[in-house]
Structure 1
Amino acid sequence: MATSDQFLNELVTWEQDLPSLSWDDFVVEAQQGKIALFSVDMINGFCHEGPLASPRIKGIIPAVVAAFQGAHALGVRNFVLAQDCHTPDSVEFAAFPPHCQAGTSEAGTIPELAQLPFANLYTIVEKNSLNAFHGTSLGQWLEEHRDLSRAVVVGNCTDLCVYQMAMHLRLYANAHNLPLRVIVPENAVQTYDTPIEVAKQIGAMPHDGDFLHLSFLYHMRLNGIEVVREIKG
């Protein structure tokens, strides 16, 4: 137990000491079209309405919007929005309540992003799985953009779809020996929280948002993903 406590303290210290980056560091690559911003599940069903909407996830909207604006101002034009768009019979509903079904407002991009003046640049990838590369055209998109040098990942949830996105990008680059830097700004990702007491009442598994957010950020870092405090404008 003492060793575990020591490690948890180290995790907290690691998070407190995260470095920050600046969009200005990416100027040349942006002008060459070698930067992509991947947004994961920034849709109404996780931010504004429905059974899986979370105030923690809603809270990162300003940081996500700022990331889009900072990237676009720099010259980034590759914006990929991977978004839940479930079929009514989705088998994922055995693990999570029915959510973000095709044709509902829950599956729509949050207005904070949809109303940005460059929304016409978005490549929206509808997914029926935690991993946006399964059963979608995103794998083909990635093959067509093998010259990317940086991929920035924002959205939710840190331990679920963000983790799947960042890890897939990192492992794809590893497998093909591509010099792709995968970057996750901590202020623009988040996960939900279900306290033990609440979980018992509703018959769900508890989900400590603080612990899982931190531990999955750390696990991404262990796998070569760059976790930073933020990317400043």
Structure 2
Amino acid sequence: MTTSSLPEHFLAQSHLFLEHMVAWEQNLSSLTWQELQLEAQAGQCAIFSVDMLNGFCHAGGLASPRIKGIIPAVVDVLQGAYAIGVRDFILAQDSHTPESVEFAQFPPHCQAGTSEAETIPELVQLPFADLYRVIAKNSLNAFHGTSLGTWLEQRHNLRTAVIVGNCTDLCVYQMAMHLKLYANAHNWPLRVIIPANAVQTYDIPVTVAQESGLLAHDGDFLHLTFLHHMAINGIEVVRAIQ
């Protein structure tokens, strides 16, 4: 189906909805760390960093300048959280096996034992890196085939979960939705927060996709759409935490 064959009302409504999402994103408010301080000091706040790996930031076939660009914001989140008393830092990170079936959808990346699967040095060098709980994952969802589900079951006192990393529409989305839906199912008042400046996704323009036989992936559109979709599901999307 081409654009010209789509009903005019569909195109008009889609354009209106896109304008709505852009305006929504432009008007996002920010949080302050002081607003989270009570939960942090009570051990009820955790930071989830998703796939901040060399293979997505610095080197390899899936390294993206868009994702590399959020490193300073991710570092700021971890430092800000530590400063108010957060001591739970979960680093959910790809650590694929050579035979990973995910490689049917994505080129081989972040295989266990390679430099691509290593945490970016900007996080390793933080003085509280010994607090990190690294969750090695072999799928987009960090709760599948890992110990993270057991950790969550034992943490019903958790009240705030802040998620940073990549990709907005893939692993970050899976993390946020799993946390929120698990909490909803147990009538558990968990606040799931996404600072929009500290998450990002990659970009494959339509022209590049057509030339290479890949599926197109508009980074700007999908980043915005999935932020909005998470907000619809009760996840708190903010501009930043300062």
Q: What is the TM-score with the length of structure 1 in the denominator? A: 0.99
2:130 is aligned with 1:120: yes
2:158 is aligned with 1:140: no
1:40 alignment counterpart: 50
CA–CA distance in 1 between the matches of 2:204 and 2:234? 29
String of CA shifts for 1:42-68, please: whole Å, max 9, x gaps. Answer: 000000000000000000000000000
2:219 is aligned with 1:213: no
CA–CA distance in 1 between the matches of 2:138 and 2:36? 33
Contiguous gaps of at least 5 residues in structure 2: 1-10
Q: What is the TM-score with the length of structure 2 in the denominator? A: 0.95
CA–CA distance in 1 between the matches of 2:106 and 2:64? 14
Give 1:224's match in structure 2, choosing from 234, 238, 241: 234
2:110 is aligned with 1:100: yes
CA–CA distance in 2 between the matches of 1:86 and 1:201? 28
String of CA shifts for 1:157-207, please: whole Å, max 9, x gaps. Answer: 000000000000000100000010000000000000000111122211000
String of CA shifts for 1:5-60, please: whole Å, max 9, x gaps. Answer: 11100000000000100001111111100000000000000000000000000000
Give 1:186's match in structure 2, choosing from 191, 196, 205: 196
CA–CA distance in 2 between the matches of 1:153 and 1:26? 14
Residues 126-165 of structure 1: pairs in structure 2 closer than 5 A: 126-165=136-175
CA–CA distance in 2 between the matches of 1:111 and 1:202? 32
Q: Tell me the amino acid that sits aligned with residue 183 of structure 2.
A: A
Aligned length: 232
What is the identity percentage for the equivalent residue pairs of Structure 1 and Structure 2?
A: 71
2:184 is aligned with 1:174: yes
| Cα root mean square deviation, aligned | 0.5
